[in-house]
Chain A
């Protein structure tokens, strides 16, 4: 065992100094992609969430993912459970699983979340959430729903309001505030928070920790995210602003030019684009928002760079 570890370390050592040396990974990739524009009943509809899902499916399929997509009235909890069962049947531990959701999200007070959390819980809303409260999923319920999938690499991408609240960093203090408009804390306060998190580390802390899944959220914990008003954009996005730039990540997100786009690189690309193309363009108006990403020491390859 020790010899094996040493051999792995030795090979890693060589690889560390040969950044061009990337092994094509022998694993399969699975994705469940949900987008809801047309909600049941009185929930206000969205313009582009279903289109977000359709174009994400096309992009992921082109990247070699096996994709299960549901939109609008098919995006229910029962169908999600069926899709999860289908993925769980085929996927193995070393495969990669991605869940993408575009639709409504929100906060509901439901008691203290736990260490590092606040008194709100964040949710995503499936198609018939208004008539059936079991169709809204918070972080724990979403994790539970995806639990049958055996992949140890899981990525959740949420294009919904307040979705930053799904991220549960047990050790990292986020310098990007939960709401850009509310502002954040100073750097010394952030470092102090990091020390406190280290001292009080709780592996079972609130929200989705990075060792269970890496999350990219479109917005902060107390922040809306937006669809583009097509009359204002040139060219028009015809998507949620976050997903529009996420779809570009396979072409522009390879920051270190190693031929692959990781979860962190995709997040970084989308965040930078939203700042320059949306937030700054609108003068940091009331609709400014920022994506967030999970912490943790490990990152996953998400896409091949095009």
Chain B
């Protein structure tokens, strides 16, 4: 994908929530939030000497978000991620590796559907970066690489469940590995967020 296309893709994802921003968020889910998330992905890896292969990957972690202007939030996250070794076709494989990845991101969201009693649905996207500290499986070899990610999401709020929201997202991660030609991952993730300030709002 060219840079122009990637930028266009990013704007297309961000525009709907920005356009809908004047419809402010439900008071129950404004402000600071804490959350947990988990997801699976397919990582595509290609080295300068060997062709591309797929690797299964999963990630789980926690995050906290601080609202900046109601519909924009600044988030920090700490995840553990693991990428399994690829298949052995051709007599080679891409090694499995895993480790911790602290991240920083901005997320934008806006209401898509709102029903005061039953459910509110928000659409949005998060964009950010992470620092990955990984270790190759079966070794004591540690390595570092940064990543960028773009994560469009749908966030569900069911008023009867209090100040909790649930997200379904499709993260796209681009790794900047210096010994690989390409390393990216596409996946699906679910997350839960708790908005402490929402208890007051509900009261």
Contacts and interface: CB of A to CB of B under 8 A. Distances in A.
A260 B144 CA distance: 29
Nearest to B141: A172
Interface stretch (B17-25, B43-51, B60-68): B43-51
Given A21-B87, A176-B140, A194-B133, A9 B52 contact: yes
Contact of A299 (B46, B85, B142, B143): B85
Given A262-B93, A299-B92, A16 B133 contact: no
A72 interface: no
Contacts of A268: 138-139
Contact of B143 (A12, A19, A22, A194): A194
B42 interface: yes
Most A CB atoms within 10 A — which of B48, B136, B141?
Answer: B141
A153 B90 CA distance: 11
A297 B183 CA distance: 11
A23 interface: yes
A301 B85 CA distance: 12
B48 to A, nearest CB: 7
Interface string B55-93: 110000000000000000000000000001111111111
B177 interface: yes
A16 B56 CA distance: 6
Q: What band does the interface of chain B fall in when counting residues whose beta carbon is under 8 Å from A? A: 35 or more
A171 B93 contact: no
Contacts of B90: 23, 25, 27, 94
B112 to A, nearest CB: 31
A278 to B, nearest CB: 18
Contact of A258 (B53, B88, B94): B88
Nearest to B134: A194
A299 B52 CA distance: 14
A289 B142 CA distance: 20
A296 B178 CA distance: 10
A211 B179 CA distance: 9
B173 to A, nearest CB: 15
B141 A153 contact: no
A194 B97 CA distance: 15
Interface stretch (A80-88, A119-127, A195-203, A239-247): A195-203
A211 B10 CA distance: 35
A16 B87 contact: yes
Contact of B89 (A15, A153, A191, A255): A15
B8 interface: no
Given A17-B56, A152-B49, A198 B143 contact: yes
B137 A197 contact: no
A99 interface: no
A303 B133 CA distance: 30
B32 to A, nearest CB: 29
A91 B47 CA distance: 22
B86 A301 contact: no
Given A9-B54, A16-B84, A211-B49, A298 B92 contact: yes
Interface string B174-191: 000111100000000000
Given A191-B133, A301-B88, A301-B93, A267 B55 contact: no
A173 interface: yes
Interface of A: 5, 8-9, 12-19, 21-23, 25, 27, 94, 96, 152-153, 169-176, 190-191, 193-195, 197-198, 201, 210-211, 255-256, 258, 260, 262, 264-265, 267-268, 293, 295-301
Given A19-B87, A175-B140, A267-B139, 16 more contacts: A12-B44, A12-B89, A13-B54, A16-B84, A17-B56, A94-B90, A153-B91, A172-B142, A173-B141, A173-B142, A194-B142, A258-B88, A262-B93, A264-B136, A293-B139, A295-B139
Top 9 A-B pairs ranked by shortest CB distance? A175-B140, A12-B54, A25-B91, A15-B87, A268-B138, A172-B141, A16-B54, A194-B144, A13-B54
Interface of B: 42, 44-56, 84-95, 133, 135-145, 177-180
25 contacts: A8-B52, A8-B53, A12-B53, A12-B54, A22-B89, A23-B89, A27-B90, A152-B50, A153-B92, A169-B141, A170-B179, A171-B178, A171-B179, A172-B143, A173-B142, A173-B143, A193-B142, A194-B133, A258-B88, A264-B137, A265-B138, A297-B177, A297-B180, A299-B85, A301-B93
